[in-house]
Every structure is written in C-alpha cells, then in structure tokens.
C-alpha cells in the first residue's frame, strides 16, 4: 500500500456567494443549489450564569433583553450583529440586543456568559455540559424556536470533481 492521498476538496463552513465544492449554511439559502445533507435540528437558548442572575433579575420577555448587558454575535457573512430570533404562538420576533462584548464565534460567547459577563443567545447543543453542571441557566424557553439545522450544499451550475463525488456520496450514506 502506498501513501494516503488527500482529496482536493474545499469545504467552506461559512456560506457566501462564492462557495467552493461544498458549503455549510444555517437553514436554506436563497440560491439555486442542491442540498444533500442536513444536520439535526436544535434549539437556541437565552443563557446566563447564576452569578449574573444573582446581580440582575431574569428577563420576562424577549423585549426585556434590550435592558440587559447581552453578548452579541457578529455575523461573518454580513458583518452585522445577529438579531436574536424568538417565536411564540405563531408570532415571530427578532430582538437586537446591546452589550459590551461582541464575538464572531460561539465558544468565546459561551465562555463569557459562564464567566458572568452577560446574557447570550446560544445553541443548546453546545452548552449541555454548562447546563448540566449548573454554570449556565436558560431563560425564555417558551420563546426559543427550533432551529432547522445546517445544510451542506454544492453548486449545481458547474462540473464537480471526481473527488467531490466520492465525498458527496459518503455524506449521503453517512449515519449522522
């Protein structure tokens, strides 16, 4: 057997208009692309540390969040700040929060939240350890909608490489 060869595939985990061979998008993008794999759905949660909540009462509604020190997420695609998404009884709501900290990655947001620096809107599947240990408390559960998950796409308007076909076929048949 010879040396292993790496497949020449580009995987972009941040979706944009100029995707490589495969791109990951949160939800379905508004483009003519072909979906071949979707990650499981999950919920976002509004979280704070017990220390933060000892100093500040928990918000009662999503609109109350504008009065709190929230930790923002800067979107890499647009450069703008993410508006927190809520839904209840068929009513959708987006809240633009304010605070002293802004991150472009979720893990530092979680670390800052656990450290008591503010309230963050985080994917619940990334904070299971923090929730289990009591270092993080979720609020406004009845307002937090199910997120459809991430989709992997490939362009339909160009010739894909044989290496790409191997990856796409493996992902189609993967047990995820």
Rounded-to-integer distance, Cα 161 and Cα 10, Å: 11
What is the predicted pLDDT for the residue at 43?
A: 83
Is 139 found in the same domain as 99?
A: yes
Is 82 found in the same domain as 54?
A: yes
Q: Which domain holds residue 26?
A: 11-40+149-172
CB 9 within 8 A of CB 170: no
Quick: pLDDT tens for 41-64: 678 899 999 999 999 999 999 999
Rounded-to-integer distance, Cα 59 and Cα 45, Å: 13
CB 123 within 8 A of CB 42: yes
Is 168 found in the same domain as 87?
A: no
Please report which confidence band the pLDDT of residue 10 belongs to, taking 50, 70 and 90 as the band edges.
very low
Is 126 found in the same domain as 53?
A: yes
Is 93 found in the same domain as 28?
A: no
Residue located via tokens 């997120």: 147
* Residue 124 within a domain: yes
CATH of the domain at 109: 3.40.190.290
Is 79 found in the same domain as 158?
A: no
Compute the average pLDDT of residues 19-23.
57
Is 109 found in the same domain as 163?
A: no
Is 156 found in the same domain as 116?
A: no
* Residue 4 within a domain: no
pLDDT of 162 over the 80 cut: no
Total domains in the chain come to: 2
Rounded-to-integer distance, Cα 11 and Cα 123, Å: 22
Is 53 found in the same domain as 36?
A: no
* Residue 1 within a domain: no
What is the predicted pLDDT for the residue at 88?
A: 92
Is 32 found in the same domain as 102?
A: no
Is 76 found in the same domain as 54?
A: yes
Is 75 found in the same domain as 92?
A: yes
Please report which confidence band the pLDDT of residue 120 belongs to, taking 50, 70 and 90 as the band edges.
very high
pTM value is: 0.68
Burial classification of residue 150, based on how many CB atoms lie within 10 Å of its CB (0-12 exposed, 13-18 middle, 19 or more buried): middle
């Amino acid at each position: 057997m010879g040396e292993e060869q790496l497949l020449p595939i580009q995987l972009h985990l941040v979706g944009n208009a100029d995707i490589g061979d495969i791109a990951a998008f949160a939800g379905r993008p508004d483009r003519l692309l072909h979906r071949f794999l979707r990650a499981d759905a999950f919920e976002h949660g509004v979280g704070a540390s017990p220390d933060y909540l000892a100093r500040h009462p928990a918000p009662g509604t999503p609109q109350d969040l504008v009065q709190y020190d929230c930790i923002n997420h800067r979107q890499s695609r647009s450069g703008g700040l993410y508006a927190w998404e809520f839904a209840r009884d068929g009513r959708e709501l987006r809240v633009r929060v304010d605070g002293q900290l802004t991150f472009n990655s979720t893990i530092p947001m979680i670390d800052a939240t656990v450290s008591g620096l503010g309230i963050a809107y985080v994917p619940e599947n990334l904070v299971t350890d923090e929730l289990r240990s009591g270092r993080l408390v979720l609020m406004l559960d009845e307002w937090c909608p199910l997120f459809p998950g991430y989709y992997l796409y490939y362009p339909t308007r160009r010739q894909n490489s044989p290496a790409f076909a191997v990856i796409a076929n493996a992902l189609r048949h993967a047990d995820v």
